[in-house]
Amino acid sequence: VPVDTRHWIGGERIASAASPASATAATFTDHSPLDGAPLAEIARGGAAEARAAVAAARAAFPAWAATPPAERARLLHAVADGVEARIEDLAAVETADNGALLRSHRRGVMPRVAHNLRYFADRLLALAHDDFETRGHTNHVTWDPAGPAVLITPWNAPLMLASWKIAPALAAGSTVVLKPAEWTPLTASLFADIAHEAGLPAGVLNVVQGYGAEVGEPLVADPDVRRISFTGSVPTARRIAATAGAHLVPCSFELGGKSPLLVFADADLELAADLAVEQFDNAGQVCLAATRILVEESAREAFLGHFLDRVAKLTQGDPRDEATDIGPNIHPRHVERVDGFVRRALDAGATAITGGGRNTGLAGLAGLGGLGGLGGLGGNYYLPTLLTDVAQDSEIVQEEVFGPVLTLQTFPDGDEDEAVRLANDTRFGLAATLATGDRERADRVTARLVAGTVWVNCFFVRDLSAPFGGSRASGIGREGGDWSFDFYCDLKNTVTAPK
Round to the nearest angstrom and report the end-to-end CA distance of the chain: 63
- Give CA–CA dist 466/257, Å, rounded: 19
Residue type, 367: G
Among candidates 183, 37, 207, 208, which has minimal Cα distance to 98?
Answer: 183
- Should residue 232 be labelled a site residue for ligand ADP when binding is judged by CB under 6 A? yes
Selected range binding ligand ADP among 37-45, 176-184, 343-351, 490-498, rule: CB under 6 A? 176-184
- Should residue 370 be labelled a site residue for ligand ADP when binding is judged by CB under 6 A? no
- Should residue 327 be labelled a site residue for ligand ADP when binding is judged by CB under 6 A? no
Near ligand ADP by CB under 6 A: residue from 19, 139, 233, 424: 233
- Give CA–CA dist 421/292, Å, rounded: 13
Near ligand ADP by CB under 6 A: residue from 217, 254, 296, 482: 217
- Should residue 239 be labelled a site residue for ligand ADP when binding is judged by CB under 6 A? yes
Among candidates 326, 387, 386, 334, which has minimal Cα distance to 359?
Answer: 326
- Give CA–CA dist 499/93, Å, rounded: 60
Total number of residues binding ligand ADP (CB under 6 A)?
17
Nearer to ligand ADP, 47 or 202 (CB): 47
Near ligand ADP by CB under 6 A: residue from 95, 174, 187, 236: 236
Selected range binding ligand ADP among 102-110, 228-236, 318-326, 416-424, rule: CB under 6 A? 228-236
Near ligand ADP by CB under 6 A: residue from 105, 179, 292, 441: 179
Selected range binding ligand ADP among 93-101, 230-238, 353-361, 484-492, rule: CB under 6 A? 230-238
Burial tier of 454 (Cβ tally within 10 Å: 0-12, 13-18, 19+): middle
Nearer to ligand ADP, 216 or 452 (CB): 216
Q: Considering the complex, what minimum distance in angstroms separates the CB of residue 462 from ligand ADP? A: 20
Nearer to ligand ADP, 182 or 482 (CB): 182
Query: From its phi and psi, is residue 297 left (phi > 0), alpha (psi between -120 and 50) or beta?
Result: alpha
Q: CA separation (Å) from 339 to 1, 37, 74, 330?
A: 33, 22, 47, 13
Among candidates 248, 203, 200, which has minimal Cα distance to 225?
Answer: 248
Selected range binding ligand ADP among 60-68, 208-216, 385-393, 407-415, rule: CB under 6 A? 208-216
Phi, psi of 383 (to 5 degrees): -65, 140
Per-residue contact track with ligand ADP, 381 to 410, x per CB under 6 A?
------------------------------
Selected range binding ligand ADP among 16-24, 233-241, 274-282, 455-463, rule: CB under 6 A? 233-241
Query: From its phi and psi, is residue 252 left (phi > 0), alpha (psi between -120 and 50) or beta?
Result: beta
- Should residue 182 be labelled a site residue for ligand ADP when binding is judged by CB under 6 A? yes
Q: CA separation (Å) from 290 to 33, 105, 301, 352?
A: 24, 22, 20, 18
Instruction: Tell me the residue nearest to ligand ADP as measured from the CB.
Output: 212
Q: Which residues are tagged catalytic?
A: 254
Nearer to ligand ADP, 156 or 175 (CB): 156
What's the gap between Cα 9 and its chain centre? Answer: 24
- Should residue 212 be labelled a site residue for ligand ADP when binding is judged by CB under 6 A? yes
- Should residue 152 be labelled a site residue for ligand ADP when binding is judged by CB under 6 A? yes
User: What are the helix (H) ranges across 284-347?
Assistant: 300-313, 332-347
Nearer to ligand ADP, 34 or 178 (CB): 178
Q: Considering the complex, what minimum distance in angstroms separates the CB of residue 39 from ligand ADP? A: 17
Q: Considering the complex, what minimum distance in angstroms separates the CB of residue 143 from ligand ADP? A: 27
Q: CA separation (Å) from 3 to 11, 93, 154, 189, 191?
A: 16, 9, 19, 7, 10
Burial tier of 300 (Cβ tally within 10 Å: 0-12, 13-18, 19+): middle
Q: Where does this chain bind ligand ADP (CB under 6 A)? A: 152-154, 179, 181-182, 211-213, 216-217, 220, 232-233, 236, 239-240
